A and B are shown apart, each in its own frame.
Chain A
């Protein structure tokens, strides 16, 4: 039964990503799921699926930021290693998904990809970077970019 309840929470949480949530409900769900934010390069051993997605924490972002950023945070939490991989290569469907969740328009996609690739080392300074830290770094980078800052406006 416990598995099912966890599943229901995740479903609730994940459907937020599509609904572009207001922060109230999302913050509530995340609070209930507090745990260690996944390390970006965590060696995810023993294939236990549930555990890897349970670290829904965007505490550092809280309600102050916009809904798209929260959606991106949700996605990063369960796909962080693939996002990092795509980012280092400057392309890939996981990077495109981030762009879509942030609402980055086609015209800005190339610049979005290259900003993230060029600043990989700033986003992921070391192997212990958590998804929270990576997201904060991404938001900060985009805010500094004249063409991309509109997508992360609070």
Chain B
């Protein structure tokens, strides 16, 4: 075989150019170290040293693409983006090559523009709380025969075994263990998954990529399709791999440089917007949002009828319904059908009840000539317009026990993501997810710096129940915190959980009641650990200007030293835009037969 590569002069250091490094997914794990590709798949490389050597890979690629012949196994067909890049850089004029499979793929994708789709977080699954992103490949829209439901999507996801539960998913997601695969699927399947089954609203960000940029992106998508890139929950996740694709499409964008420790999808959307890549944005409400909206649009009496219909107490042709005018009857039937569908998906309503009911509702509806009411309005604030997820707080406080008191300053550092007292816009009401939050206190009386609390993960989901929906409110958190042994405050690992219900008592306000269980482990505790069943009753108000939570908590420590711990708590934040909040907290605690008050106030900054 003729080694034509030798006749081409390759500029020294070409293998270090950003274009090549991006196409090979090469990174320097630390500044001083050598390059390494994030691809974890031999099939992605033409050189056996390709993973560790961008230079060897470039040389091997250059040789391979100059080989005569063609067909699907030819390097130019397997790596169209790389070979195009090399040809342009080196001004190579290679004969045309025939790549039937790749050509067919490009023809089927028929992509003119690309849309970044963000599936918003939803409340009851920790693994989805950060949201999810994928790309939609939009065909030309110059005639009436384009339909975006049929458009294809590119997404990168962990190939998690179906039987892995949430906890296993979180563990393997963080520490590695899942292969990540890039797949191409039609948009309607994504809508089915995210919008109908997982109840996540979708935001569609139309990217302003030019045709040549789009072609480069799809060419590279072909190269990485079905190639394994190990998946990590925090950094090398769904969003990260898409950023790489956008970097390939528009060289010099350098979106991946924004990623330091983690790539939260909503943050990555912000970066994409900041790089002026987004044209316009569209909103697609989830099935859950749509059904809530259509039920809310009914009058109280119509809601009663809908509820009776859904529960089988009324038939779709009952006199109560026939008394309504055609438009109202259609609205009730539509909302009820959507609700029955929703409950079948979400709550597993039995088919032998839901299916005949659904059929009767649709059949009755088909005789009515009314336009279905418009879809839910787009929220005023998009998910990417909510507060940034990294938070730094500085506060000052005072604790009073008996006659003595201590003053402290507190620094809190929270890399992600949102708590109930943060500015609520762009987040789900009642949802909280915090990772790796660190609270440190500096006591001024004796110049002592103390770790007050280290939160590993803290999740709360406070979601109101009503006539139609009865979600469980729950919470779980673990980490280390100062705990009172009666003599001193020691840092003890803890695991807390709780479950209960919540009810809306006014707009933006809900009251909740949770049964809780706390576990602490420490040598300084009598038997090395202690456990406390308890209760937490409170209310939560969230609006764009301020958030307030107050309530009472009681716990009975039952293992090491039997005593009650009763707390009265109140926390408030005033939101100064979405960059800053002023916060104040008060906690009054009866523990070991003494009363302790703690005050604190300060400033949260989000960036």
Interface residues, chain A, with chain B CB atoms under 8 Å away? 3-4, 7-8, 10-11, 14-15, 17-19, 39-49, 52-53, 75, 78-79, 81-82, 84-85, 87-94, 96-97, 100-101, 103, 106, 117-118, 120-121, 124, 126-128
Decide if B162 touches A3 in the complex (CB within 8 Å): yes
| Cα separation A117 to B351 with both chains bound (whole Å) | 24
Decide if B184 touches A93 in the complex (CB within 8 Å): no
B188 interfacial by beta-carbon distance below 8 Å = yes
| Cα separation A141 to B162 with both chains bound (whole Å) | 41
Decide if B144 touches A43 in the complex (CB within 8 Å): no
CB distance from A3 to the nearest CB of B (A): 7
Decide if A7 touches B108 in the complex (CB within 8 Å): no
B145 interfacial by beta-carbon distance below 8 Å = yes
| Cα separation A41 to B354 with both chains bound (whole Å) | 8
Partner of A43 from the list B150, B338, B348, B369 (CB cut-off 8 Å) is B348
Counting from the closest, the 6 A-B pairs by CB-CB distance are A120-B366, A43-B351, A43-B344, A88-B362, A127-B359, A127-B355
CB distance from B434 to the nearest CB of A (A): 27
B345 interfacial by beta-carbon distance below 8 Å = yes
Q: Mark B64-87, 1 if CB is under 8 A from A, else 0.
A: 000000000000000000000000
Decide if B108 touches A15 in the complex (CB within 8 Å): yes
Decide if A100 touches B159 in the complex (CB within 8 Å): no
Decide if A42 touches B351 in the complex (CB within 8 Å): yes
| Residues in A neighbouring B349, C-beta threshold 8 A | 43, 45
Check A84/B108 contact, CB under 8 A, given A14-B186, A41-B354, A45-B344: no
B545 interfacial by beta-carbon distance below 8 Å = no
CB distance from B361 to the nearest CB of A (A): 8
| Cα separation A87 to B368 with both chains bound (whole Å) | 12
Residue in A closest to B351 when the chains form the complex, CB atoms: A43
Decide if B162 touches A118 in the complex (CB within 8 Å): no
Check A100/B150 contact, CB under 8 A, given A11-B185, A89-B372: yes
Decide if A106 touches B348 in the complex (CB within 8 Å): no
Decide if B363 touches A121 in the complex (CB within 8 Å): yes
Partner of A84 from the list B147, B183, B185, B362 (CB cut-off 8 Å) is B362
Decide if B192 touches A78 in the complex (CB within 8 Å): yes
| Cα separation A69 to B89 with both chains bound (whole Å) | 47
| Cα separation A74 to B359 with both chains bound (whole Å) | 22
CB distance from B377 to the nearest CB of A (A): 18
Decide if A121 touches B351 in the complex (CB within 8 Å): no
Check A39/B355 contact, CB under 8 A, given A87-B366, A100-B145: yes
| Cα separation A121 to B363 with both chains bound (whole Å) | 6
